[in-house]
Amino acid sequence: MIKDELKILCVMYTEQVSGTIQIVYEEDGSLRIDVDHNDNDFMYDEIGSVLEVKRIQRERRELFEALETYYKVVFLGEGI
């Protein structure tokens, strides 16, 4: 269910601005969104990318917070 939501999120990003998106855990358990594109990708929209990442962070805040909590509890051994 969560995997599907993340897959859809990534596909929608790519459809909107081209390029690629990665959701990465930092060492402290926080999430970071990385974006990239090929130099010859003329469909890539740099401004649109920034706006789309901000939209994703705003609209999926609860999902990202839950994923961070899960990582911190399961992998870092922190309490809730």
Per-residue pLDDT reduced to its tens digit, 7-43: 999 999 999 999 999 999 999 999 999 999 999 999 9
Domain assignment present for residue 53? The answer is yes
Domain assignment present for residue 79? The answer is no
Q: Which residues does residue 20 pair with via DSSP β-bridges, in sequence order? A: 36
Question: Which letter does DSSP use for residue 22 in this model?
Answer: E
| Structural domain count, the chain | 1
Enclosing domain of residue 59:
2-74
State the Cα–Cα distance between residues 63 and 67, nearest whole angstrom: 6
Domain assignment present for residue 80? The answer is no
**Quick one: pLDDT at residue 79?**
82
